[in-house]
Amino acid sequence: MYDFVVVGVGPAGARFARRAAQQGYDVIAFEQGDLGTPLACSGHVSLDVWEFVPDEHHDALFQNDIRGARFHLGGADSSAHPFYKSTPISNAIDRVHLDEVLAEAARDAGADVREHHTVTDVTEHRDRVTVTARGPDDSIDVTAKMVAGSDGPRSRVRDALSLPEPDEFLHGALAFDPDPDHQDFVDVHLTVPGFFAWRIPRGDAGVEYGLAAAPGEDVAGRFDDLVADYGVDVEHRCSGLIPIGPPDTVTSHRGFLLGDAAGQTKP
């Protein structure tokens, strides 16, 4: 019997798996596809990300220092309200590679991390939890003392444990302009109902454009308008859900939620 089975190996799941393994617990972790894909999250992070990234991976992950933001009440040409500091306050990073690095760190700590394993069933018992995962060749049943659900906004673990959903889900869209941009500020557009749009310069990696809004607000159309206003051609479009409002509880008798599954998103 394992101590923990972790469902979902994004940053939250990988970091928990690593820390638990470092403390001597037996950990198995399942990721349904390739690590870091499909991309559905911004690569703009606070500086404390480096506290749990192995030092040797800093240069491969780092893309740009961010020292401030310009807040807009209109489009790209609208007047901006700047906020700026002399030292970096956040970083742009390679978001896909971050997942890969954190998962490998969990492996190095002793966690059994398995890609291409889709969890199809979670059953909570008085003294254990059983998890069924479908792999490339067959299905396996795992027994553990606890299950950690870090499997995203539409968490299968959350449903199986009858835990409440976050208050709402926003629909987010991302895309990238490949032209390098080393500016040290982000642009934030406060014109999207209930949320905002953004532009993040990522050094040699180009520029990230993104937008989120409540379902039904024509996110795709609003996103097209945003990039058209900047006059750029974007590629690698992707989308995902952003949970807003943590639920009243994220724990059950033999399970708990982490990250997006728990509505734990940055403010």
Ranges of CATH 3.50.50.60 domains, the chain: 1-43+94-167+245-267
Tokens of 215: 């379902």
CA atoms of 100 and 142, how far apart (whole Å): 24
- The pLDDT confidence band at residue 201, using thresholds 50, 70 and 90, is very high
Ranges of CATH 3.30.9.10 domains, the chain: 65-92+168-244
- Look at residue 14 and give its three-state secondary structure: helix
In terms of DSSP bridges, do strands 207-213 and 168-177 run parallel, antiparallel, or are they unpaired?
antiparallel
Cα distances (Å, whole numbers) of residue 191 to 41, 54, 127, 225? 20, 38, 50, 12
Residues found in the chain: 267
CA atoms of 253 and 166, how far apart (whole Å): 19
pLDDT at position 75: 87
Q: Is 30 exposed, middle or buried (0-12, 13-18, 19+ CB in 10 A)?
A: buried
Position 175 pLDDT exceeds 90: yes
Mean pLDDT lowest for which of 36-40, 70-74, 77-81?
Answer: 36-40
For residue 58, give the H/E element and its range: helix 58-61
In terms of DSSP bridges, do strands 112-114 and 255-257 run parallel, antiparallel, or are they unpaired?
unpaired
Position 267 pLDDT exceeds 70: no
Q: Write the pLDDT tens digit of every residue in 78-98.
A: 889 999 999 999 999 999 999
pLDDT at position 58: 96
pTM to 2 decimal places:
0.92
CATH, domain 65-92+168-244, list 3.40.50.10490, 3.90.230.10, 3.30.9.10, 3.40.50.720? 3.30.9.10
Query: What class is the 1-43+94-167+245-267 domain?
Result: alpha beta
Q: Write the pLDDT tens digit of every residue in 203-251.
A: 999 999 999 999 888 999 999 999 999 999 998 899 889 999 889 999 9
